[in-house]
Structure 1
């Protein structure tokens, strides 16, 4: 059932958005607090901070203690990250400059100053990345018999075999596009790899330009070696890039012409999406139209082979409309995401040791010889899940599959932000709807770069009879929620899952995320109200074990920060422990500065962006910031405070620490423009486990990057004797591997 917006509905939704904006503008606590002004230069620029994060990714690629193929993978991740940064962040900055919106950032930089600083740092980083890959990673791979070859390095039999492959499989796909009075300069799609070719007509002596697009629906790496009959333990894994193969056969595309120059180039375009939702009668159709426009966004970066002549470089820059600052001259091969393809090589000796997740001990404890009963496990105890160490397939995935198959289940309500191809989560919802259950799926079709996938999921769910909605207009629904309503002997019981990560079985093996399975009636009531707010009209809903953005996450966290500040000023124990992907929100950072000034010890684990300045005397000397990057992408969010607010509904008085987990980072987009949910953890042993987890990541014996007051990050990976520090992810792998529970292929 497609959600459409009638005029009365639009009016109501506009009023909801206005209410959200009005509430989020009042970001500070209303209590009277007489503070001295904080320094004006107390924030780092978020874009420069992001580039420093990607620098840490590059440092992993440069870490010779890591397995060789993992280093290549980190080099590919760096390239992928930088692509998205240009397509979204740099594109948005350029759009603000072009439109004349010159509002300074919180760090006091104008858009033009930001653009210059980004350009300078991005050029330096991308140059370092490309040269390190060419000069170190590829030679180190060659030592392991994984070789990227040029055409001239191939033997005659290899050239003959690849020429046959080219004629049969590649040549029919290629389309050379000439530029002359009858053929205008061709459109260059964003992210595509191309060859710029200068050819000379031997009859007229005139030089012409042509463009050849490298097929993006074929592998970039073409195998040179036939390993079918080889002893793979001693085999060479030789490859030639597709563009190198095409370059070596250009005469087949331009017969009778003289090839004067041919170089690779790649264009990055603005690929962010902007949909005027309140003017869209059908959000799904509006998003589809915008996706078509994405391919034609303005150019923001031109990558060229550094061997390109000045004439050809200028021709491309002029025709594509890029400035000199937007041109990146790099050694071939361009687009080093190609290194992802090396991960398919069967060389386990060059990868991380295999890790098989285990079934969560509380779920495994109630498994019968026939099948596990997730509902029975949840009735016994709230279950705290920690992925990928706890198997996603035998917990969250099994929870939804069991709900779909259980005749006692009457309804399932589910948010979907990103999920995998052939998703078992989608299959479970389809099965439930087919079985006659009431199924609601809130599909966020504005999830960046997953829009097309989510539109396809939405349509598949609609065809199965699932009620599909797209949330509140003007807000992305980013919260991770699942609600199952089951008929039991004592009446209806609601089973809930609230998580920090997407319902995506693939990323659940690669990201560290937390989730809580519970049948607490208070949480059930909270989720029922929140789903009603998302699918209907309930803007005044209140919650008890949840903090929900954009209404109460920022204010709730600031209130708890100020409670620690008050405790410290009263001479009581006070501390704050936060684990997030990014911390940018100025109001929250200011509250942390005030708490630090009062003597509160504050530990922050952040993976990506940090606009806060730690360790500054008189402002933040009690704040430490560490960054963890490694085998798994750190994605969970934890907010822990030394002093509890007090009793919860339906519970006795509480004292001691208060801990929350959920989907929200400390960023404007999370706190103002998204629906996010944090859930309070109430079981003492789970509270203790989460606090110990943050402490492990902050411990000086743990390998991490320590943020300095000037914004630089210093890597701490060995002790003073050169002994490697603890890898906290390996610690958790060992802890879960030692469990006396059968392992599960997640």
Structure 2
């Protein structure tokens, strides 16, 4: 399957004879893909997982929800940011010459067909397939009389007391509507009045119509089951079947009692998205915690950037909503089917294992198989590499922090928290350690987008327990995933560390692929001590010997390593420039997104020198591969599948002395310049072999991999029919490899 990325117009008014400025824009466009287009192509690949018949049915339902969730965040952050730039009069253009207004038009043009494709997938493929398996997603008109009776009973018992109809008139202003909430716009008429309504042009007040809004409760599931708990075996609703009515539909058909005595002319569901790009200048902030709290309050009331309504909406209601929210027609998206696909998580959660991926239980890393062994002694015997979710986060990272909290010889624990789970097991352990008199320092990143509120609560909870909480370096987000433990031993103090690619989040550790290394190697721990001094004490250290720390030395060190591969090309050319030469200068990088222009330019230079470059970029990629004379030695692969590919691995051939690195940073401007990040070298040869295995599996994938083309399209690889093993893809291969390693350990 090929996904085409249309050519982006340089300007709506471009003349037939290009100006110098237009020529420059064309040159830049030849070098870089537009970030917004590339991200939308990524989300299209996510949507394809719902379209792919090889994906288990309920997992396809989940991918429909993920596609919508991704778009929600995109509109809050990216579209919200573009609208904010327009409001501030910022006229900066992208490398390919597009203004903020151009980008908004481009985004809408790309999103509308995807919404139609999502709707067709749900209505024509997923919904009928679910029905064949006894899961019926019903419209009100499809309910039996018994079904309607059950639905009305549910409404009276669970919804009627909760709903609050709010009329809009001179005495009742238009109500506040919260972000990503669904509402019903209701147009009412007094009984006995007969009003001719011109839906194309109407002022409701002038024709006697009254508008009211009913908020759909977010505390209830978006799909309501209609099985009668008192009659589980009734014939209409067999015990092995599920029948659901959409919450919006249920409320819509039971509104008469809410507006007793009034005539309901029309009901229109709608959903709004607000701008999340409301960050304040923290340079002048006296209290960062209060600043972030204020940002959260500001975001709640931020401007609306998107309105989603039903297909062919009722115009009088549409007009009231758009006027009150200050929206133009291009801010409105008519949804061909469901208004909010994230409600489908209810369906995805059904206990139907035959319609889901085969369950996977993360395995205990072989080196940590002995649960009674002292983990510090195990680490002292050699570095440990863990790969989640193939290997257990609980039996590795959680065990490390728990052991540190309880070990009487541990005197200090330092940890960075960017995102963590709501019921994080780390917090009680850190609090316990502080109560035992250990020095516990936790750097909580308050500005982790959409997790600010939770992180504010975590910071306050830790502070109240006596943990020393730091909020990071002003002007920088602390994105590094590191933990440092200082332990008193016979020969003095020894530092132990965990450096990872993913968050200290027990929930996402089961869904995201991430790597972490446990080490007590002084080369790494000494640098990590200095990094925490940089974070907590504003150290002005200019360099680190082994760790790559952003924004201090990471960009420079990566550039140096790319330039070193370029220099080695001279010797490779002298050897005959054999493409199969095992020591051919090579760079392999696995990351989430690639956007930094300086890094991209340097990779182009390396490609032109003959360096072989293999990039595994899950999300958006602004580098254009495979262009003769510029990037013909660069390939870009995207892997989308069961787990979210989140690990970062960097490899440099280094003239036969390979170097491997893992860490928290992508090759993006924000990671290299505006965040505190940590990339760590992996010195152990056995661990390097494991990283090579992961890279090799990813590059050989014929199931989940997509190849980026020079024109911006992505081609989905297809399995070799003569080699059935190529059909299982990266994730299943690594699950199989993990089980093989575990079984080898058991046999020993």
In the superposition, the TM-score normalised over structure 1's length comes to 0.90
Match of 1:108 in 2: 97
Match of 1:216 in 2: 218
Match of 1:626 in 2: 637
Question: 1:417 deviation in Å?
Answer: 0.3
- Relative to structure 2, which stretch is displaced further, 600-609 or 564-573? 564-573
For 1:685 and 1:128, locate their aligned partners in 2 and report how far apart those are by CA, in whole Å: 46
For 1:720 and 1:281, locate their aligned partners in 2 and report how far apart those are by CA, in whole Å: 64
Question: 1:197 deviation in Å?
Answer: 0.8
Alignment of 1:703-742 (within 5 A): 703-719=704-720, 725-740=727-742
Report the secondary structure of 2:240's partner residue.
coil
Report the secondary structure of 1:250's partner residue.
coil
Sort the Cα spacing of 1:604 and 1:441 in 2 relative to 1 into closer, same or farther, 3 A.
Answer: same
State whether residues 165 and 258 of structure 2, in contact with CA within 8 Å, keep that contact through their aligned partners in structure 1: yes
Answer yes or no: is 1:291 the counterpart of 2:296: yes
Report the secondary structure of 1:739's partner residue.
helix
Answer yes or no: is 1:637 the counterpart of 2:655: no
Report the secondary structure of 2:548's partner residue.
strand
Match of 1:674 in 2: 675
Report the secondary structure of 1:571's partner residue.
helix
- Relative to structure 2, which stretch is displaced further, 347-356 or 100-109? 100-109
For 1:585 and 1:640, locate their aligned partners in 2 and report how far apart those are by CA, in whole Å: 18
Question: 1:183 deviation in Å?
Answer: 1.7
Match of 2:657 in 1: 656
For 1:154 and 1:49, locate their aligned partners in 2 and report how far apart those are by CA, in whole Å: 43
- Relative to structure 2, which stretch is displaced further, 410-419 or 544-553? 544-553
Q: Which residue of 196, 201, 209 corresponds with 1:207?
A: 209
Report the secondary structure of 2:161's partner residue.
helix
Q: What per-residue deviation string (whole Å, max 9, x for no partner) do you get for residues 534-561 of structure 1? A: 0012112532220001121111111111
- Relative to structure 2, which stretch is displaced further, 504-513 or 290-299? 290-299
For 2:633 and 2:33, locate their aligned partners in 1 and report how far apart those are by CA, in whole Å: 18
Question: 1:390 deviation in Å?
Answer: 1.1
Sort the Cα spacing of 1:700 and 1:519 in 2 relative to 1 into closer, same or farther, 3 A.
Answer: closer
Question: 1:719 deviation in Å?
Answer: 2.9
Alignment of 1:75-224 (within 5 A): 75-205=64-194, 206-224=208-226
Unaligned runs of 5+ in 2: 1-24, 195-207, 574-583
Sort the Cα spacing of 1:248 and 1:521 in 2 relative to 1 into closer, same or farther, 3 A.
Answer: same
- Relative to structure 2, which stretch is displaced further, 167-176 or 536-545? 536-545
Report the secondary structure of 2:494's partner residue.
strand
How many residue pairs get aligned? The number is 694
Answer yes or no: is 1:609 the counterpart of 2:620: yes
Report the secondary structure of 1:616's partner residue.
coil
For 2:659 and 2:703, locate their aligned partners in 1 and report how far apart those are by CA, in whole Å: 24
Answer yes or no: is 1:40 the counterpart of 2:40: no
Question: 1:738 deviation in Å?
Answer: 2.8
Match of 2:280 in 1: 275
Question: 1:38 deviation in Å?
Answer: 11
Question: 1:332 deviation in Å?
Answer: 3.8
Answer yes or no: is 1:512 the counterpart of 2:513: yes
Match of 2:43 in 1: 54
Q: What per-residue deviation string (whole Å, max 9, x for no partner) do you get for residues 483-519 of structure 1? A: 0000111111100000000000110000000001000
Answer yes or no: is 1:690 the counterpart of 2:691: yes
Q: Which residue of 327, 348, 363 corresponds with 1:343?
A: 348
For 2:517 and 2:545, locate their aligned partners in 1 and report how far apart those are by CA, in whole Å: 16
For 1:522 and 1:372, locate their aligned partners in 2 and report how far apart those are by CA, in whole Å: 25
State whether residues 702 and 729 of structure 2, in contact with CA within 8 Å, keep that contact through their aligned partners in structure 1: no
Q: What per-residue deviation string (whole Å, max 9, x for no partner) do you get for residues 325-349 of structure 1? A: 1111113421111111112211000
Q: Which residue of 363, 371, 384 corresponds with 2:368?
A: 363
Answer yes or no: is 1:250 the counterpart of 2:252: no
Sort the Cα spacing of 1:701 and 1:76 in 2 relative to 1 into closer, same or farther, 3 A.
Answer: closer
Question: 1:222 deviation in Å?
Answer: 1.1
State whether residues 617 and 639 of structure 2, in contact with CA within 8 Å, keep that contact through their aligned partners in structure 1: yes
Match of 2:559 in 1: 558
Report the secondary structure of 1:267's partner residue.
strand
State whether residues 478 and 675 of structure 2, in contact with CA within 8 Å, keep that contact through their aligned partners in structure 1: yes
Alignment of 1:299-338 (within 5 A): 299-338=304-343
Report the secondary structure of 1:187's partner residue.
coil
In the superposition, the TM-score normalised over structure 2's length comes to 0.90
State whether residues 44 and 612 of structure 1, in contact with CA within 8 Å, keep that contact through their aligned partners in structure 2: yes
Unaligned runs of 5+ in 1: 1-36, 645-654
State whether residues 533 and 541 of structure 1, in contact with CA within 8 Å, keep that contact through their aligned partners in structure 2: no
State whether residues 569 and 599 of structure 1, in contact with CA within 8 Å, keep that contact through their aligned partners in structure 2: no
Question: 1:742 deviation in Å?
Answer: 11
Match of 2:418 in 1: 417
For 2:688 and 2:269, locate their aligned partners in 1 and report how far apart those are by CA, in whole Å: 54
Q: What per-residue deviation string (whole Å, max 9, x for no partner) do you get for residues 524-582 of structure 1? A: 21111110110012112532220001121111111111111111133262000000000
Q: Which residue of 595, 605, 609 corresponds with 2:606?
A: 595
Question: 1:743 deviation in Å?
Answer: 11
State whether residues 227 and 235 of structure 1, in contact with CA within 8 Å, keep that contact through their aligned partners in structure 2: no
Q: What per-residue deviation string (whole Å, max 9, x for no partner) do you get for residues 123-165 of structure 1? A: 2212221232122211111111111112222222332232222
Question: 1:104 deviation in Å?
Answer: 1.1
- Relative to structure 2, which stretch is displaced further, 623-632 or 533-542? 533-542
Question: 1:217 deviation in Å?
Answer: 1.5
Q: What per-residue deviation string (whole Å, max 9, x for no partner) do you get for residues 416-454 of structure 1? A: 000011111112111111111000000001100000111
Sort the Cα spacing of 1:641 and 1:239 in 2 relative to 1 into closer, same or farther, 3 A.
Answer: same
For 1:639 and 1:733, locate their aligned partners in 2 and report how far apart those are by CA, in whole Å: 22
For 1:537 and 1:92, locate their aligned partners in 2 and report how far apart those are by CA, in whole Å: 30
